[in-house]
Chain A
Amino acid sequence: MAADVRATRLGILALVGTLLFGLVGARLWFLQTVEQEALQEKVDTTKLRTVPLLPERGRIFDADGRIVADNERVLTVAVDWQVIRRSDDRAEIFRRLSGWVDVPVEEMEARFDSQVYSPFLPMPIAEDIDERTATAIKERVEDLPGVTIIEDSRRVYPYAPLASHVVGYMGRITAETKDVYREAGYYLNERVGQFGIELSMEEELHGNWGLVTYEVDNGSRIVREVSRTPPINGNDVQLTIDLDQQQYAEQALETQLMRRRLELSTNPKDPETNFQTLVFPDYPREVPFKAPAGAVVVQNNDNGHIIALASYPTFDNRWFESDLSGGKFEEIFPSVDEFGEPIDPDESILVNRAIQGRYNLGSTFKPFTAYAALNTGLMSVNDYYVDGGNYRMTSVPDDQCDAGLVRCVYKNATCSGTGRSCVYGAVDVETALAVSSDAFFYRVGELLMTENDYQPVLQEQVRQFGFGADTGIELPFEFDGTVPDAELKAEYADRGVISESEGAGYYTGDNVQLAIGQGLLSASPLQLAVGYSTIANHGFVMKPEIIRAIYEPGVPDALEPGFADISQARLAVEPNVEGDVVRQISMPQAIHQEINEGLRRVIQGPGTTSDFYHSTTGEKLFYYYPRSAIPIAGKTGTAQGAGNYPWNDSSAFAAYSRDPERPYTVTAYLEKSGYGSQGAGPVVKCMFLQLSGIAPTDPVVLSDPLNTDSEVAAEPKQLADTSCYEGRFSSVRTTE
């Protein structure tokens, strides 16, 4: 190969190199000189704008798949401040928009001048427009420069006010919680769960924010999308609550409270003065019941699932999504009365009394005292005690009693027939429960202490049923409850709840009071239900479960309006069908049978005969309870209120099914509503008739839109058929 040929070919290579370098060099020169200013301006004016993408909040379903909490898309038309800065531009855009969104130009101008809108976000022109208008506006983007549609979502509660205390409500992040939410990746202008499931399941329901990054020009107009991370929607939560039962429980509770307000409580004549004076001479002979509040719990005692959880006074959770002004809110949810004093706790609305109520249980506590006596071997099922109408403590020397230093004599409740303390004669545990003999349990209270070296044996035994500790239900603000002992009394004395001298120690007298559910004992209706369920299921303390299942986002709607199609749902978490056993406690058959029989006789009788026939506390109420209904066992309770005035008696009733196929426990507590058999008993009875399929039940329907002109937290609701309340009222005046 000749050298010149090689040179020629290498020359071609050099030529190509020169060309390519020339091209690159020219481009470099062009960019850095001619284009420099234009590019610099672009860099200066283009910015990135990141827009968070809202995850859709998970929905909440009831046990049947009814959608009790849903989301509604809210579309807002907004316009960029830049394009309406000049008045003639503004007039033109407002004129064009006005026809589409049906807002007069004057109102738009007013908004423009109002200074209430953020200068960093587009100015909203019309909120809550329909999809068709939004689409139409989007399609006319050339005619409407700078106009955007902002998507937001609003929580809706299709069945409100049903189960409002359970479902809860949402609200702004508060100053106290903002650090926690910020940590969790929230935006501080978000609405978050404030109460109920909305709060306790916030983590499941919320989902994760997405993010889209736009490049924007100096007019804040989006040039293009740079990156997008889609949001992850929240999981859907299904409750164990069944709205059929929930609605009935709420109706039965409210209706009964209204009925009790019409009843009068009698100021009894004093047997000490031979019935010449009234026991409470400062009050008239008859005082109406206040019946301000109450709660109902329906639990499946086999797996612990909560089927209904009613609390009164109730509210409509849609109020919290309706942009209430401060004044209107205060009107509906008052925190002070007309005199500026904090309102009576009786009237507070935003409290779920079923789990937050701090209630004296009265005689509904006696089965647990009976269990303690039998389980510790203090007495056996065949031990009798002769109830003479009152009980005198044996462990205190007579001289101290006579000197009045110690209260030694505890009386039974008054029999209406005689006006004096009832005398039940010889009673065993079973009969003592059936007729609710106080004297019998006073003695148990004393002996449980004196026979056990003054150790807190009764406390230990009843704590096994869950008293004095929260149940762990997935609802916020649950009350722990208290079981009185030396520690609690000392704490109360420190806080000034009781006097220093009273708090100095735990005395036998305290145990005597505890034995019949009085004194410093307190528990919520839910704790009472858990305790009775434990008796019903032979010793399994079940965690009250309110979450039936958690599903992956996007459970579709069913064909039937208001329902989700649960069959299409994908589980996010394996559901806990069997329930959680908190603990199993010793419940020998003999003990169970004794308590169960006593509680069965409360409902069915018979009572006992001493001076005359004393019926059981529930016998007359349940006189007409049909044989086809769920067979039950239960207990009345009357908790004495302030001043021991009869009109302050709160009414409790707890009962469980004796049919293992229909394993329900129902408790009801009606504040200041009279005896257990008068206030709460009928509610529990109606509830069991409903569970039996006997009581007529209103169908659950989607609610009408919230009437924002209303001045009550929730519209009153009534039980369609009130005949289930009726019975032969007990003639016995007892604390039951």
Chain B
Amino acid sequence: MATSFLSRKADSGLGNIRASPADPSRNIDWVLMSVQFILTVMGFFVVFSASRTRISEDPYAFATRQVVFSIIAIIVMFFVMAFDYEWWKDRAAFLYGVTLVLLTLLFLLGVAAGEDKISFDLGPFNFQPAELAKFTTLLMLAAYLSGERGEEVSYARFLGGLMIVGAPAVLVIIQPDLGSASVLVSMAMGVLLVAGAKARYIALITFLSIATVMAAFVGRLVNNYQAARIRSLINPAAASADDLYQAENAMRAIGTGGVWGKGWLEGPLTNGRDIPVMWADFPFAAIGEQFGLVGGSVVLGLIAIALVRIWRIAHLARDLLGTYLCAGVFSMLLWQTFQNVAMTMQIMPVTGLPLPFISYGGSGLIVYFAMFGLVQSVHMRRMR
């Protein structure tokens, strides 16, 4: 029974051991979960320090909402964990379909409103279907690929997988949200790699991704901000001063933090208003300025531990589906962390990708908790 870990059996026939070692409830990866919670709590503080001077009325507004989001996220995660990932696999097609419908609906609404739309306005918070797509596309892709058993992915199945990722990716690109699309692509690459795609298949995805970005440029699907941001990285002299200014201030904030940082709430650049949307886009700059190399290393280290634990679960998984799921979460977490931190330090172009668990944002937080729930589900049920 999927929910059995919630109901402890009084008598399992093993004396005073109340549950078998293989019982899912006894196989939660507590290291991974602890790391996840520590990062989330650190996120509250980072969001507070990066937003308090930028909102006039209530300095706690963003931090408080982030706490509320995390409570919702925890509930969602336990819900996901409660079911065997096979159970989720059976519903993958349905969830994937819902996602595509939502993305299409959003696109049509955007066309009707004559503006770019990346979220549904649900009153208290905005729901971003692109975040949901990370979860459901992973589920769909892993389910699809795990249907074949073999050393390598056949060309036909590879193309199928490409289409599964391609459909939501294109819908996300035209929102336009290149950042989220890049996360979907990174996930696809990770899963396909582990599934045994040939090197040339991976090369094909890379080529397709680059071609898509170019096409987006030509078709003016990239919004002006993103175009300018990418240009500014390729050719700083041609960039508008505004974009450069924001990114450079983020880098300066990190650099001036030094080894030990300037202290909690003591960062002039974090307290100033020179870094826009810092609580969502540049939280790592706030960490770097206030807590220095030590703080930055701790955050990166915790994420690295999470990655190692996910990687380990991928190894331990009882079947290919579990491995693929873990590989996908691993790829997304790795890519998204790298992209966010690297753009803060000016080695990647500026995109709106949040730093997982740290950045302010309900949709992103909930989806990462859900994905970690999947990983836990794999870990909990690794023993046959």
Interface residues of A, Cβ cutoff 8 Å to B:
1-2, 5-7, 9-10, 12-14, 16-17, 20-21, 23-25, 27-29, 31-33, 35-36, 38-40, 42-43, 48, 215, 224-227
Contacts and interface: CB of A to CB of B under 8 A. Distances in A.
Interface residues of B, number: 45
Contact of B258 (A16, A32, A48, A224): A32
B345 A28 contact: yes
A48 B246 CA distance: 13
Contacts of B144: none
B255 A10 contact: no
Contact of B194 (A6, A23, A227): A6
User: From DSSP, what is the main secondary structure of chain B's interface residues?
Assistant: helix
A39 B255 contact: yes
A25 B300 contact: yes
Interface of B: 149-151, 190, 193-194, 196, 241-242, 244-245, 251-252, 254-259, 268-269, 274, 288, 292-293, 296-297, 300, 304, 307, 311, 314-315, 320, 323, 327, 330-331, 334, 337-338, 341-342, 345, 347
Nearest to A215: B245
Given A13-B330, A17-B304, A227-B242, 8 more contacts: A10-B323, A14-B311, A17-B311, A21-B307, A24-B300, A32-B257, A35-B255, A226-B241
Given A27-B342, A29-B293, A32-B293, A39 B300 contact: no
A16 B206 CA distance: 15
B331 A13 contact: yes
Contact of B311 (A5, A10, A29): A10
A28 B242 CA distance: 24
Given A10-B315, A215-B241, A23 B296 contact: no
16 contacts: A9-B194, A10-B311, A10-B314, A21-B307, A23-B338, A23-B342, A24-B345, A25-B297, A28-B254, A32-B255, A32-B292, A32-B293, A32-B296, A35-B255, A42-B252, A43-B268
A227 B276 CA distance: 13
A61 B135 CA distance: 68
B263 to A, nearest CB: 15
Contacts of B311: 10, 13-14, 17
Contacts of B334: 16-17, 20-21
Nearest to A48: B274
A13 B194 contact: yes
A215 B248 CA distance: 12
Contact of A28 (B150, B252, B288, B307): B288
Contacts of B193: 9, 12-13
B12 to A, nearest CB: 31
A39 B250 CA distance: 11
B338 A24 contact: yes
B293 A33 contact: yes
A5 B150 CA distance: 11
Nearest 10 Cβ contacts at the A-B interface: A39-B255, A224-B241, A32-B293, A31-B255, A20-B338, A40-B256, A36-B258, A9-B194, A27-B345, A225-B241
B296 A28 contact: yes
A224 B245 contact: yes
Contacts of B345: 24, 27-28, 31
A5 B151 contact: yes
A44 B150 CA distance: 61
A10 B245 contact: no
B279 to A, nearest CB: 20
Contacts of A17: 304, 307, 311, 330, 334
Nearest to A32: B293
**Which of A12, A31, A36, A43 has the most CB atoms of chain B within a 10 A radius of its CB?**
A31
A501 to B, nearest CB: 66
Contacts of B337: 24
A223 to B, nearest CB: 9
Contact of A33 (B149, B194, B251, B259): B259
Given A13-B190, A43-B268, A43-B269, A28 B293 contact: yes
Given A12-B193, A13-B331, A24-B300, A39 B241 contact: no
Contacts of B342: 23-24, 27
A33 B293 CA distance: 8
Given A20-B338, A24-B342, A1 B258 contact: no
B292 to A, nearest CB: 6
Contacts of B315: 6-7, 10
Given A24-B338, A29-B293, A226 B242 contact: yes
A2 B258 contact: no
A32 B341 CA distance: 14
B342 to A, nearest CB: 6
Nearest to B274: A48
Nearest to B299: A28
B254 A32 contact: yes
A40 B327 CA distance: 40
B347 A36 contact: no
A43 B271 CA distance: 14
A590 B320 CA distance: 110
Contacts of B297: 25, 28
Nearest to B304: A21
A397 B300 CA distance: 112
Nearest to B240: A225
Contact of B300 (A16, A28, A43): A28
B151 A31 contact: no
Contact of B196 (A9, A23, A40, A224): A9
Contacts of B259: 32-33
Contacts of A12: 193
B347 A23 contact: yes
B149 A1 contact: yes
A1 B151 contact: yes
A215 B249 CA distance: 12
A20 B348 CA distance: 12
Contacts of A48: 274
B256 A43 contact: yes
Contacts of B304: 17, 21
A6 B314 CA distance: 9
Contacts of B269: 43
Nearest to B248: A42
A263 B339 CA distance: 95
A12 B330 CA distance: 12
A148 to B, nearest CB: 18
Contacts of A27: 342, 345, 347
B196 A5 contact: yes
Contacts of A224: 241, 244-245
Nearest to A44: B256
A13 B323 CA distance: 12
Given A39-B256, A215-B241, A6 B331 contact: no
